[in-house]
Amino acid sequence: MWDVTAGGCRVGVPAGLALTMNRTIAALGTTIFETMSQRARNGDVINLGQGFPDEQGPRELLEAAAKAVLDRSSQYPPMRGVPELRAAVAAYYAREQALDLADDEIVVTSGATEAIAATLMALLEPGDEVIVVQPLYDAYVPLIERFGGVPRFVSLVPPDWRLPLGAIAAAISSRTRVIMLNTPHNPTGSMVQPSDWTLLSRLCVKHDLTIICDEVWEAMIFDGSRHVSPLAIPQLRERSVKIGSAGKIFSLTGWKVGWACAAPRIAGAIAKAHQFLTFTTPPSLQWAVAEGLQRPSDWHVAHRDGHADGRTRLVEGLRSAGYAATAGPATWFIHVDLAASGIALTDVAFCERLITDGGIVSIPFSAFYAQEPETGHVRFCFTKHTHVLDEALKRLARFRTTLG
């Protein structure tokens, strides 16, 4: 099918038509999250794969968005985001994380994934090396490569999934420009520790590196751990980009409202990239998110805690059904260690059989690897209605007995 030529791919098309395609994009499949959700749309299959809640989202925000659609402007908002949202992002992070963000340090984007894309597009030159930590969100590597970067892989080590600081230090070369981090971490729920930040600061200052920190799970921490952004660390304040997501904070994943926060010089470059990706984000949704961020801390705690029962129900239910299940400190996910559960299948084989024989979609950990995949773990999303989780647990228990 593909006739690979230097710099691009020629697709097999009717004579006389020659379509040239970028090699990185041509080589991509469809993301695991869409693939798995699609499989759950067919027939009686429960979707514990892609991370989204069953609930509609907070009524207050839905009403604020509806009212804004009817009563306020639906024309292009300011390119960096409506002033109300930028002010609300700054105030929210000042209150929740003691950050001091100025208006010119915030760029609103159409979701965190766009923020990541705009940041990589803004920062990378061809040949720049980016250290990435596996397991990782499957968007990182294609975006790095599409913008000319070269990923250098390190991996978290189970069962604690702590940051491999020695491996990170060893991966730094004269071409390294960026370290990409994700804390709290999807899919494991682990978090960068205060002592990790001390060493990371030293490395970044010594080698003049920028940190891109995907912090979309910052509001979904269930065990009382404190989230630390690199922007809170003086040595990293001018050399880090913080990525945030209203979808994760408010359980509104389809809204695709996110942001990148960084020192003005970096934020300015991100805004230039953003102007030619999506340019702006629907203003009604931005105003609604601004209202949500202004809700008091108690409201945010209650919203997060609305997911806590599902987390306990799923992890305990999985354990009583014979699975070695772990709920990390944060995120909407629980993971199962197959070998520790006595299941002699790879993650992909397990997920396939769980769909066909068990009627449940999950996500194999190997989908979060671009190199040397860890194939012994499976991720389950717990932000589902109670009756859905109960039915899923019944199926998982039944399925477990078929595995011997």
Binding-site ranges for ligand GLN (CB under 6 A): 33, 50-51, 113, 186
The residue (of 50 and 134) whose beta carbon lies closer to ligand GLN is: 50
The residue (of 119 and 186) whose beta carbon lies closer to ligand GLN is: 186
Please, what is the minimum distance in Å from the beta carbon of residue 116 to ligand GLN?
11
Please, what is the minimum distance in Å from the beta carbon of residue 120 to ligand GLN?
16
Please, what is the minimum distance in Å from the beta carbon of residue 51 to ligand GLN?
3
Please, what is the minimum distance in Å from the beta carbon of residue 33 to ligand GLN?
3
Please, what is the minimum distance in Å from the beta carbon of residue 184 to ligand GLN?
12
The residue (of 101 and 249) whose beta carbon lies closer to ligand GLN is: 249
The residue (of 201 and 251) whose beta carbon lies closer to ligand GLN is: 251
Please, what is the minimum distance in Å from the beta carbon of residue 322 to ligand GLN?
25
The CB density around residue 356, as the number of other CB atoms within 10 Å, is: 10
* Residue 209 near residue 175 (C-beta atoms within 8 A): no
**Nearest alpha carbon to residue 68 among 225, 292, 243, 221:** 292
Scanning the structure block, which residue is given the tokens 């992909």?
348
Separation of alpha carbons 253 and 56, rounded Å:
10
CA dihedral 273, 115, 110, 268 (to 10 degrees): -40
The residue (of 140 and 197) whose beta carbon lies closer to ligand GLN is: 140
Please, what is the minimum distance in Å from the beta carbon of residue 156 to ligand GLN?
16
The residue (of 33 and 153) whose beta carbon lies closer to ligand GLN is: 33
The residue (of 233 and 330) whose beta carbon lies closer to ligand GLN is: 330
172-211 burial string, b = 16+ CB within 10 Å, else e?
beeebbbbbbbbbbbbbbbbbeeebbeebbebbeeeebbb
Scanning the structure block, which residue is given the tokens 């190199």?
371
